[in-house]
Amino acid sequence: MMTGLEGLVVLLFALGIALVVIELLMPGFGLAGGLGILSLIAGVVLAAQVVSPVVLTLIIAIALVIIAGMLVWIYKSATRGGRVSRLLLLRTKTGKEEGYSSISDSKDLIGLEGIAATNLRPTGTGDFQGKKIDVVTEGEFIPKGSPIQITDVEGFRIIVKKLDSK
């Protein structure tokens, strides 16, 4: 029959193991893991007053084996199609072939001619067939109203050069 102190030791060990496992499953700020470790330490301190050192060592070893076993189970479950990996990992793809794109493809703008709507030093705005577009030069200053042409598109950067006046 268990006394109140022995029951408290068992409760502290069970709570400590449960909280450490929760921390392993749902990592966050470490609150569950920290409380679990404190609970295990309190259980060891109380158990040291109730049981012999050999039994205490056995209890600590069992708790460590349970935690290690749960860690191995979580690792196996989190890799290669396990239950945890199905919950945590995104399976859908968001590539170009699925119709997703982070930037618009503006390569068709190359060669388009327009007018500098603002001073380009080296960035500014160009007016291309009534459409205002943010542009950048290769470093030179282009005054407002100058004829410009789009020479290249690198991601979001639309590069222009000044056209010679005719």
Summarize pLDDT for 65-121 with one digit per residue, the tens: 988 888 787 777 777 666 666 666 666 777 777 767 666 667 888 999 999 999 999
Cα distances (angstroms) measured from residue 78 to each of 12, 29, 69, 100: 28, 20, 14, 27
Task: Please check whether residue 100 lies inside any domain of the structure.
Answer: no
Measured CA to CA, the distance from residue 86 to residue 109 in angstroms comes to 43
**What does the block give as tokens for 73?**
């189970």
Neighbours of 160 (CB within 10 A): 27
- 14 and 79 within one domain: yes
pLDDT digits (tens, 9 = 90+) for 35-75: 988 998 898 888 888 888 888 888 888 888 988 888 787 77
**Which residue range forms the structural domain that includes residue 57?**
4-88
Please indicate, yes or no, whether residues 83 and 112 belong to a single structural domain of this protein.
Answer: no
Same domain, 10 and 83: yes
Assess if residue 120 is contained within a domain: yes
Task: Tell if the pTM clears 0.85, that is, is over it.
Answer: no
Domain assignment of residue 94, yes or no: no
Domain shared by 27 and 77, yes or no: yes
For the chain, the distance separating the N- and C-terminal CA atoms, rounded to the nearest angstrom, is 105
Are the beta carbons of 160 and 120 closer than 8 angstroms? Answer: yes
- Domain total for the chain? 2
For 44-70, letters b (16+ CB in 10 Å) and e give bebbeeeeeeeebeebeeebeeebeeb
**How far from chain centre, in Å, is Cα 147?**
45
Residues 79 and 19 in one domain: yes
Residue 140 lies in a domain: yes
How confident is the model at residue 2, as a pLDDT? 61
